[in-house]
Amino acid sequence: MELRHLRYFLAVADAAHFTKAAQKLWVSQPTLSQQIKQLEEELGAPLFHRGSGGVQLTGAGEKFRPYAERALHEMEAAVMALGESEAVPGESLRVGALETTGDYLLPEVVARAVSESRMQISVETLPALELQWAVARAELDLAIGALPAASVVAEPLFDEDLVLWAPPNHRLSNARRARLAELDGVGVFCVSEASALRALLNDGAGRAGIELKVLAEFPSAEAVLRAATAAALPAILPAPMLQLQHEQAHSSGWHAVALTNPRPHRTIALLRRKGREENPALRAFVAHLNGVVGGLLKPE
């Protein structure tokens, strides 16, 4: 049983609906259902009554819920305590990341690691395959990369979905999700052709039978967000990036619309070298990383 199983269980219990919980967690419904099934098999009991209108906790689910809440709270507290106390002051780490993912995920992680664990950290951004090679050759201590990853140890962290970031009064601004085909003719801001996220988007548009109408493109997702906000025009952006900026972003009336049929996404993973012993600095950094990622997996 892993922490994500508890987070997923509690999200479904709170939403009383698999689809709604999956949307809040930014994972696909099949992924969520599979994780809940794994948890039920491990516990040896069904946790939910499934119906066409939603789900309800079974007797076993009702009994399990308070234990899951306490266990998740205690584990997250333990993770943060390790991050605060285990690292030796002055230890250094070389961390790699995919450019866009690293831009929105690592600043908070590094800030916690430096201020609470007193580490020295250098961050390098590289394409997906180069990240794997750098970790395998011990040029990096760890990396935030993408699956698949055959040459290193890879621990899935979360699904990075691309969503439509719709301004107030846009025709899709009140939708929870939209088919990619509905973007036909809709002018959007997005990352440039050199980005792996743009390749995901182009592939999805091609399979949906449309050609994106790109109004402007930028080398970073942060620049896309700023430009789209200034122009009050829609953008295609990573959902976790918007979730980390939830309060500030949503206070202005903008809305994230999940994209489906097909769903443009990739799985972000923690990459480490095979056979490497973890030192206290590495363990502390991973503890801070898991603390930030845990916030991404919590329902709103």
Highest mean pLDDT (candidates 66-75, 108-117, 198-207): 198-207
Provide the pLDDT for residue 264: 94
Residue with tokens 């943060």: 80
Q: What is the mean pLDDT of residues 2-14?
A: 84
Residue with tokens 């790109």: 214
Three-state DSSP at 43 gives helix
pLDDT per residue as tens digits for the range 123-156:
999 999 999 999 999 999 999 999 888 889 998 8
What span, in angstroms and rounded, lies between the C-alpha atoms of 147 and 210?
27
- Would you say 193 and 232 are in contact if contact means Cβ atoms under 8 Å apart? no
The reply to whether 79 and 150 lie within a common domain is no
Three-state DSSP at 74 gives helix
Q: Is the pLDDT of residue 32 over 60?
A: yes
> Domain tally for the chain?
3
The reply to whether 68 and 213 lie within a common domain is no
What span, in angstroms and rounded, lies between the C-alpha atoms of 198 and 216?
13
Q: What is the mean pLDDT of residues 27-50?
A: 86
The reply to whether 166 and 140 lie within a common domain is no
Structural domain harbouring 112: 87-157+267-296
How are beta strands 120-125 and 255-260 bridged, if at all?
A: unpaired
The reply to whether 185 and 201 lie within a common domain is yes
The reply to whether 195 and 167 lie within a common domain is yes
First to last CA, the chain: 23
- Which amino acid is residue 119, in one-letter code? M
Q: What is the mean pLDDT of residues 41-69?
A: 88
Longest CA–CA span in the chain (Å) reads 56
pLDDT per residue as tens digits for the range 81-104:
654 555 455 578 999 999 999 999
Bridge partners (DSSP) of residue 159 are 267
